[in-house]
């Protein structure tokens, strides 16, 4: 039985499907209040509209009310277009008459960047949460329901934009009601809704995505995002999107490094904010794009093309050069062009009669303008390894009709890339009207197709692996002292052992003689390391000695690293020395956890040892992860070939490595209150069947 929508979703429903709208700040002048009023009045046959402004008795021939509390009914939606300092009194009136939703167009809040305006927005946020008046904005342009024709926006209704199955959610109102609207109309792409969220003091983009995922007529959600207030809320929405089979296509600005991170963690330094966003999008099937047209065209492809049954693409064009360029871009986006079967090759060659080239891509020269194009396309469509067909030619009316007919009779995606000019306007209009995904750039088409195939693959894996997220058994580890706490290497390994992470055999020594005895117990060769809370990176401090073969070397190494330690960090005086077994014959990797301010714990894996920050050959996912996530991460790193066996070396114990990755994912959940950050670097992955060993580790537990 379906759950009833939450009060929040009910408020969003009233906002997007209002029967009555009040406009506070209504005016006849061409300002934001006047534009908002005229927008809602354009749908007056569907709405009861109430102008509110104590300065006027009537506006545009309508009775104008002094306050919301003077209205004859409680409106579904209130548009607030008043100076920033007057917004809270208006919202208080909304609460008095139990208004469910409000759009605050007014600016002058946190976007100003100073403390006073940020505090003003914080009051709005707190009031919305307590009062039940759910707020879109402030500093937005409002919303539009294109299907019903209701524009609760300071942007005028745009009649060239037609209804469609794509919902647009944007932080920026000027972007949503500007290029993303006009470009979509020019391309024949329709929206169901346009929603500008502004500063998101209350309702966030993720809240609107959550609502739209329940709309049966919305197939794709296109987003223009500047940042997430609550990353975990977005992840929940992305998971829901995978569950219900609706793609999220996202243009996110801000590809920059994060602020300073704690120097103790390689992992923290490697998991920059934008890299974490990319990992989240990849993990949960969100297609990230780079510009307006990519957003619109990729969304259109996902909205209208059926899921591909195979990963191959068949391409046909009148031009060998166009075909080759398309093939290049498809390859760069991870897509393959499978060779033709004998049936297709012979069939196309028979039609071409010595002209062109029967291959994939197929160069059919002038036959692209003949009735034979239909038979050639059908031979390619019937190829068993082709999951989609790309037709790249001018797009004249006769070609458009053939392509539309093929699409109507096929279960595969049929995609068109135009190479024509003005003479193709009639044919391209037919393709748009028939909702054939249409492109004019090989790069843009290949990028959209790469995302299209990736999304459908991700959703298939999601459905298979959804039940495979294994929760930890709730390991109870020793309770370390409260407050921020850096664990030394030995203490870190002891903690990791509670989650089954194997470490090197090692003994702590407080003088040279104890170190020699420890080396005899462990067996030569050994390593010596100074263990100090005050030295974060031991190699930089010169307090590590490796491959010691006898007692004299151990004594000399002990004296050297103690001296170097005191010189590097005087507070390290009296710190013990770890005598540790040497581990040889494996592949060094780094496995770590960091804490992202938006998304929580992030797991990282990559090429380890001293080169981790040089090569930055890493992959990451947010926790918790599945076994499938772990395997995908290992496939992403370039050093993966070392784990599979390279130049005669045996394959490494990948299964044991994956167990460690899952163990750290569980640790991140079990110790969530302490927000653990850690590095295991290196973790030596031994030959298959021999397991792994943590050679060095460092953990930071927060308050």
CATH 3.30.70.141 fits 587-701, yes or no: no
15 closest CA partner among 136, 127, 157:
136
DSSP track, 338-393: PPPPHHHHHHHHHHHTTSSB-SSSEE-GGGGGSTHHHHHHHHHHT-TTEEEEEEEE
Give the pLDDT score at 263: 32
Domain with CATH 3.40.50.720 in the chain: 1-139
**236: its two tokens:** 């929940």
pLDDT by residue (tens digit) across 644-666?
A: 887 778 999 999 999 999 999 99
268 closest CA partner among 703, 700, 648, 689:
700
Rg for the chain, CA atoms, rounded: 31
* Separation of alpha carbons 673 and 678, rounded Å: 15
Task: Please list, in sequence order, all residues whose beta carbon lies within 8 angstroms of the beta carbon of residue 239, skipping any fewer than 6 positions away.
Answer: 284
Distance of CA 419 to the CA centre of its chain: 33
DSSP track, 33-63: HHHHHHHHHTTTTT-EEEEE-TT-SEETTEE
* Separation of alpha carbons 212 and 166, rounded Å: 10
- Residue 546, classed as helix, strand or coil, is strand
- Residue 239, classed as helix, strand or coil, is helix
> Phi then psi for 628, rounded to 5 degrees?
-65, -40
- DSSP 8-class letter at 21: E
Q: Within a 10 A sphere around the Cβ of 332, how many other Cβ atoms?
A: 12
The reply to whether the predicted model has a pTM over 0.85 is yes
163 closest CA partner among 138, 146, 148, 145:
146
Q: Is the peptide bond before 27 cis (omega within 30 degrees of 0)?
A: no
CATH topology (fold) of 505-581: Dna Ligase; domain 1 (3.30.1490)
Q: 305-464: what CATH class? A: alpha beta
**163: its two tokens:** 């209804």
Give the pLDDT score at 609: 64
Give the pLDDT score at 452: 98
Give the pLDDT score at 520: 97
pLDDT by residue (tens digit) across 557-566?
A: 999 999 999 9
- Judge whether 126 and 118 are in contact, CB under 8 Å: no
Domain with CATH 3.30.470.20 in the chain: 587-701
Q: 1-139: what CATH class? A: alpha beta
CA angle 233, 234, 237 (to 5 degrees): 90
For the chain, which residues score pLDDT lower than 70? 1-4, 255-272, 467-473, 476-484, 609-615
Give the pLDDT score at 511: 96
**Strand bridging mode 386-393 / 312-317:** parallel
For the chain, percent of residues with pLDDT exceeding 90: 82
Give the pLDDT score at 465: 78
Domain with CATH 3.30.1490.20 in the chain: 505-581
* Separation of alpha carbons 571 and 90, rounded Å: 60
Give the pLDDT score at 473: 61
For the chain, percent of residues with pLDDT exceeding 70: 93
Task: Please list, in sequence order, all residues whose beta carbon lies within 8 angstroms of the beta carbon of residue 482, skipping any fewer than 6 positions away.
Answer: 703
Give the pLDDT score at 479: 65
Domain with CATH 3.40.50.261 in the chain: 305-464
């Amino acid at each position: 039985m379906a759950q009833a929508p939450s009060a929040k979703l009910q408020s969003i429903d009233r906002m997007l499907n209002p029967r009555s709208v009040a406009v506070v700040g209504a005016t006849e002048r061409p300002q934001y209040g006047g534009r908002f009023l005229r927008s809602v009045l354009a749908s007056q046959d569907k709405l009861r509209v109430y102008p509110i402004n104590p300065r006027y008795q009537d506006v545009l021939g309508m009775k104008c009310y002094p306050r919301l509390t003077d209205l004859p009914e409680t409106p579904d939606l209130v548009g607030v277009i008043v100076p920033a300092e007057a917004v809270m009194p208006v919202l208080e009136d909304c609460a008095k008459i139990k208004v469910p939703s409000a759009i605050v167009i007014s600016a002058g809040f946190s976007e100003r960047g100073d403390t006073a305006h940020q505090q003003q927005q914080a009051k709005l946020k707190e009031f919305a949460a307590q009062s039940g008046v759910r707020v879109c904005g402030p500093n937005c342009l409002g919303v539009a329901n294109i299907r019903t024709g209701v524009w609760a926006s300071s942007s005028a209704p745009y009649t060239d934009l037609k209804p469609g199955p794509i919902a647009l959610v944007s932080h920026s109102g000027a972007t949503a009601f500007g290029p993303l609207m006009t470009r979509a109309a020019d391309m024949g792409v329709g929206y169901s809704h346009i929603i500008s969220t502004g500063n998101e003091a209350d309702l966030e983009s993720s809240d609107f995505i959550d609502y739209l995922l329940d709309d049966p007529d919305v197939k794709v959600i296109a987003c223009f995002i500047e940042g997430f207030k609550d990353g975990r809320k977005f992840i929940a929405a992305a998971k829901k999107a995978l569950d219900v089979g609706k793609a999220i296509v996202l243009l996110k600005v801000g590809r920059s490094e994060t602020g300073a991170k704690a120097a103790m963690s390689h992992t923290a330094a490697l998991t920059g904010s934008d890299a974490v966003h990319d990992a989240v999008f990849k993990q949960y099937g969100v297609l990230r794009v780079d510009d307006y047209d990519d957003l619109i065209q990729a969304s259109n492809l996902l909205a209208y093309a059926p899921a591909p049954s195979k990963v191959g693409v068949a391409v046909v064009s009148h031009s060998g050069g166009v075909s080759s360029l398309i093939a290049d871009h498809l390859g760069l986006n991870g897509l393959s062009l499978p060779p033709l079967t004998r049936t297709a090759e012979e069939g196309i060659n028979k039609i071409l009669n010595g002209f062109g080239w029967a291959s994939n891509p197929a160069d059919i020269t002038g036959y692209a303008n003949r009735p034979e194009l239909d038979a050639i396309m059908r031979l390619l469509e019937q190829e068993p390894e082709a999951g989609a067909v790309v037709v790249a030619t001018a797009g004249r009316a006769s070609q458009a009709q053939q392509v539309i007919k093929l699409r109507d009779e096929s279960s595969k995606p049929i995609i068109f890339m135009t190479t024509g000019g003005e003479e193709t306007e009639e044919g391209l209009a037919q393709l748009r009207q028939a909702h054939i995904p249409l492109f004019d750039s090989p790069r843009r088409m290949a990028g959209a197709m790469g995302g299209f195939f990736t999304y459908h693959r991700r959703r298939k894996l999601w459905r298979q692996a959804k039940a495979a997220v294994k929760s930890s058994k709730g390991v109870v580890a020793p309770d370390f002292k409260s407050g921020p706490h850096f664990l030394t290497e030995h203490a870190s390994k002891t903690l990791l052992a509670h989650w089954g992470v194997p470490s090197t055999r090692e003994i702590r020594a407080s003088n040279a003689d104890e170190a020699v005895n420890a080396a005899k117990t462990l067996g030569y060769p050994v390593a010596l390391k100074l263990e100090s809370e005050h030295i974060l990176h031991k190699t930089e401090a010169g307090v590590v000695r490796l491959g010691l073969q006898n007692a004299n070397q151990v004594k000399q190494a002990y004296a050297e690293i103690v001296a170097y330690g005191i010189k590097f960090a005087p507070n390290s005086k009296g710190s013990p020395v770890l005598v540790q077994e040497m581990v040889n014959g494996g592949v060094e990797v780094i496995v770590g956890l960091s804490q992202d301010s938006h998304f929580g714990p992030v797991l990282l894996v990559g090429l380890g040892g001293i080169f981790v920050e040089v090569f930055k050959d890493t992959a990451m996912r947010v926790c918790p992860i599945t076994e499938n996530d772990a395997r995908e991460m290992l496939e992403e790193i370039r050093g993966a070939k070392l784990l599979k066996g390279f130049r005669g070396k045996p394959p490494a114990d990948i299964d044991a490595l994956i167990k460690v990755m899952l163990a750290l994912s569980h640790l991140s959940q079990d110790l969530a209150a302490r927000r653990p950050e850690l590095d295991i670097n290196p973790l030596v992955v031994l030959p298959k069947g021999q397991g792994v060993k943590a050679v060095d580790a460092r953990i930071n537990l927060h308050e």
